[in-house]
């Protein structure tokens, strides 16, 4: 079978590109995102004009994690982890060559018939003209006029979010069906699937949405490996392609169940264990926790366990190790960080044990409750959820086993009610008493964010807020750290905070959904305790925290920051007391 990953690199190397290694999934110098979500992400500085040590033509396969589709995992095409094949021109070739390379690779290397291809190009708007160059290039190569669709900004303009290089793109589609290829391309006909995206990055979009021209014209292309492999292997379910087939077969064997009828659970287990394996192996050393990336890792592992239970797998067996192991076998040749298998297996196992304990407690409670009542009311289901972390699906499952009914509607009503209450409570909390609102306390709140950000830069990105307390005299801040801060570290932290104060940086407040906050990479401790709509405070590009406030409008108002004390708080946790003078 053809190894598309290797063919791709070979092809672009022959065209003068140099292969760059895949960056870690946790971005190294980009606090704005939780994970790399596209191949171009680690290349942003170079797309903006910085010189890349490997030159102007690059290619790679990049590990990516996208969480926007988490709820959709379980269907035929979604994954939380995927690899993106990419090639770039950093101010070198532009539209014609880029399109010609893609066309040649698809039709000559992968042998896709031209008739099965169609493309979209940017139709232009009041600021950026219609992309005639791309359309003409496609036609010169043999793509018929009827197979080109002109679409607007929603479809044919790509950026990695706010503050990113961006530009119009041309997307390549493949007709995934045995039916006759229609003569006219209709992008809304889902037999046409997008396989490759060539972005012509000549612009930059800032946080406020203002678009300006970049100093150089770049090309950024991305092709999802899972998608192209399933196309070439002619399967319409990605999980039946050679990437997944043996993993799914293994899950069938472990659960003694066929794939048919159990697709959703099996896909979720396969997908989530793969992503958890890669996140655990990342040099950033993420561990399951209740915040940020650790929270995502925890959710993925726990969700895979729930679906394993659903399939009747004995979760205390080493099934997760087996699945992770077969995944590592496939990938370690390309991603050497996977070599430390025991470390990865251990993370999966420890989290499984923690989750089991929570579930056991819930089960005991469940039994107790059953002694006094028959059917499970919404209130009881909610208590199991709220106090014992018992997912509603599990309550339903356990109830079914005992021939009992669960008042699901009642549960959801209680759940909604609770969300509203906690929303009001947290509003009230921030208004009254718990968090002080005097001018000096407000300043300490902002200083706390600066201190948090400075510690990340001085002692490491894994530093975070474990506890904070503010009064009119001082701030107190607890953070994870395995050593007493040296004088040098303390001075560095103070200097950084004071520099940011001098720079008088605006403190920007944005409201968003919890999901958006998580995806934006904001520091979100105990996110589950917050209402659905949360407030995130941004300071420059170095601080992004979910917080109830209050904060000053800009850092210049804080005065001079000084660390008064640095001491141990508990094992592995240090405490700083600091003042503004």
Q: With residue 478 as reference, give the H or E element that holds it.
A: strand 475-480
Helices 319-331 and 263-281, packing angle to 10 deg: 70
Give the nearest distance from C-beta 201 to ligand SER in angstroms: 8
Q: Which is nearer to ligand SER, 47 or 327 (CB)?
A: 47
**Cα 30–chain centre separation:** 13
Contacts of 581 (CB under 8 A, 6+ apart): 559, 560, 562
**Between 197 and 324, CB nearer to ligand SER:** 197
CA neighbor of 378 nearest in space, from 351, 408, 401, 348: 408
Closest to 230 measured CA to CA, from 384, 110, 375, 392: 110
Q: Count CB atoms within 10 A of the CB of residue 159.
A: 18
- CB 37 → ligand SER: shortest distance, Å? 8
CA nearest 282: which of 191, 350, 204, 344?
Answer: 344
Cβ proximity to ligand SER, 199 vs 447, nearer residue: 199
Taking the C-alpha atoms of residue 204 and residue 314, their distance in angstroms, rounded to an integer, is: 51
CB atoms within 10 A of CB 520: 19
Other Cβ atoms closer than 10 A to 488:
9
**Least distance to ligand SER, CB of residue 267, Å:** 23
CB of 454 to ligand SER, least distance (A): 32
Nearer to ligand SER by Cβ, of 12 and 388: the residue is 12
Q: 9 or 38, CB closer to ligand SER?
A: 38
Contact 105, 8 (CB under 8 A): yes
Q: Measured from the CB of residue 222, what is the shortest distance to ligand SER in angstroms?
A: 2
For tokens 């406020």, name the residue. 208
- C-beta of 211: minimal distance to ligand SER in Å? 17
Residue 220 or 566 with smaller CB distance to ligand SER: 220
Quote the least distance from Cβ 199 to ligand SER, whole Å. 5
- Judged by beta carbon, residue 131 or residue 220, the one nearer ligand SER is 220
Radius of gyration from C-alpha coordinates of the chain: 26
Q: Which is nearer to ligand SER, 220 or 523 (CB)?
A: 220
Judge if the upstream peptide bond of residue 142 is cis by omega within 30 degrees of 0.
no
Helices (H), 233-332: 245-255, 263-281, 292-310, 319-331
- In three-state secondary structure terms, 220 is strand
Distances (CA, A) of 26 to 34, 41, 181, 285: 7, 11, 41, 9
Residue among 296, 405, 309, 290 nearest 356 (CA):
309
> At closest approach, how far in Å is the CB of 551 from ligand SER?
34
- Residue 19 or residue 569: which is nearer to ligand SER going by CB? 19
Sign of CA dihedral 69, 75, 79, 85: negative
**By C-beta, is 86 or 288 nearer to ligand SER?**
86
> Per the structure block, which two tokens stand in for 462?
């894994």
Of 109, 83, 102, residue with least CA distance to 333:
83
Distance of CA 194 to the CA centre of its chain: 21
Cα-to-chain-centroid distance, residue 385 = 26
Task: Check: CB of residue 567 under 8 Å from CB of residue 574.
Answer: yes
* 220 versus 494: smaller Cβ distance to ligand SER: 220
Residue listed under structure tokens 């793509």: 143
User: Between residues 197 and 241, which has the closer beta carbon with respect to ligand SER?
Assistant: 197
Name the closest residue to ligand SER (Cβ).
222
Pairing relationship of beta strands 573-580 and 475-480 according to DSSP bridges: antiparallel
Of the two residues 39 and 42, which places its CB atom closer to ligand SER in the complex? Answer: 39
Say how far apart CA 573 and CA 135 lie, in whole Å.
Answer: 59
Phi, psi at residue 64, to the nearest 5°? -135, 150
Residue 106 C-beta: closest distance to ligand SER, Å: 16
Alpha helices in 389-438 (DSSP H): 392-401, 408-431
Question: Interface residues with ligand SER (CB under 6 A)?
Answer: 38-40, 86, 158, 197, 199, 220-222
Nearer Cβ to ligand SER (66/245) = 66
Nearest distance from C-beta of residue 164 to ligand SER, angstroms: 9
**What is the smallest separation between the CB atom of 160 and ligand SER, expressed in angstroms?**
7
Closest separation in Å from C-beta 50 to ligand SER:
18
In the complex, what is the shortest distance from the CB of residue 63 to ligand SER, in angstroms, rounded to a whole number? 13
Report in angstroms how near the CB of residue 40 gets to ligand SER at its nearest: 4
């Amino acid at each position: 079978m053809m190894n598309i990953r290797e063919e791709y690199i070979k092809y672009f190397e022959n065209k003068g590109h140099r292969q760059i290694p895949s960056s870690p999934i946790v971005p190294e110098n980009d606090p704005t995102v939780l994970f790399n979500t596209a191949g171009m992400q680690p290349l942003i500085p170079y797309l903006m004009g910085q010189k890349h040590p490997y030159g102007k033509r690059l290619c790679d396969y990049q590990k990516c994690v996208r969480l926007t589709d988490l709820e959709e995992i379980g269907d035929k095409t979604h994954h939380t982890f995927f690899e993106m094949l990419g090639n770039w021109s950093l101010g070198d070739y532009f539209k014609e060559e880029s399109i010609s390379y893609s066309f040649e690779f698809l039709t000559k290397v992968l042998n896709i018939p031209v008739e099965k291809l169609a493309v979209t190009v940017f139709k232009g708007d009041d600021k950026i003209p219609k992309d005639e160059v791309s359309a003409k290039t496609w036609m010169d190569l043999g793509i018929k006029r009827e197979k080109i669709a002109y679409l607007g900004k929603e479809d044919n303009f790509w950026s990695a979010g706010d503050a990113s290089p961006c530009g119009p793109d041309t997307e390549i589609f493949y007709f995934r069906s045995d039916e006759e290829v229609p003569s006219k391309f209709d992008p809304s006909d889902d037999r046409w699937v997008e396989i490759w995206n060539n972005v012509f990055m000549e612009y930059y979009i800032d946080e406020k949405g203002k678009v300006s021209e970049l100093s150089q014209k770049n090309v950024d292309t991305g092709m999802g490996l899972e998608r192209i492999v399933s196309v070439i292997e002619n399967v319409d379910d990605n999980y039946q392609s050679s990437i997944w087939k043996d993993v799914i077969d293994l899950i069938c064997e472990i659960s003694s169940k066929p794939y048919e009828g159990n697709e959703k659970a099996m896909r979720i287990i396969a997908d989530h264990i793969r992503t958890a394996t890669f996140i655990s192996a990342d040099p950033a050393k993420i561990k399951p926790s209740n915040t940020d990336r650790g929270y995502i890792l925890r959710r993925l592992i726990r969700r895979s366990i729930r679906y394993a239970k659903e399939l009747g797998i004995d979760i205390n067996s080493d099934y997760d190790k087996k699945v992770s192991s077969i995944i590592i076998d496939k990938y370690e040749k390309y991603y050497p960080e996977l070599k430390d298998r025991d470390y990865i297996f251990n993370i999966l196992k420890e989290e499984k044990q923690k989750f089991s304990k929570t579930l056991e407690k819930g089960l005991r409670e469940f039994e107790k409750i059953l002694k006094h009542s028959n059917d499970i009311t919404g209130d009881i289901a909610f208590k199991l959820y709220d106090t014992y972390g018992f997912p509603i699906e599990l309550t339903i499952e356990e109830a079914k086993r005992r021939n009992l009914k669960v008042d699901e509607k009642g549960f959801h009503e209680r759940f909604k009610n609770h969300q509203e209450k906690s929303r009001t409570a947290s509003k009230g909390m921030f208004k009254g008493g718990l968090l002080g609102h005097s001018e000096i306390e407000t300043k300490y709140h902002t200083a706390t964010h600066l201190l948090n950000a400075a510690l990340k830069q001085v002692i490491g990105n894994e530093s975070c807020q474990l506890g904070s307390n503010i009064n009119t005299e001082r701030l107190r801040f607890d953070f994870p750290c395995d050593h007493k801060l040296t004088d040098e570290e303390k001075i560095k932290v103070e200097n950084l905070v004071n520099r940011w104060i001098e720079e008088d940086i605006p403190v920007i407040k944005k409201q968003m959904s919890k999901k958006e906050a998580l995806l934006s990479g904001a520091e979100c401790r105990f996110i589950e305790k917050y209402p659905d709509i949360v407030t995130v405070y941004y300071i420059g590009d170095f601080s992004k925290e979910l917080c109830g406030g209050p904060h000053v409008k800009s850092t210049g108002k804080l005065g001079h920051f000084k660390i008064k004390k640095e001491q141990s708080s508990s094992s592995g946790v240090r405490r700083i007391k600091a003042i503004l003078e």
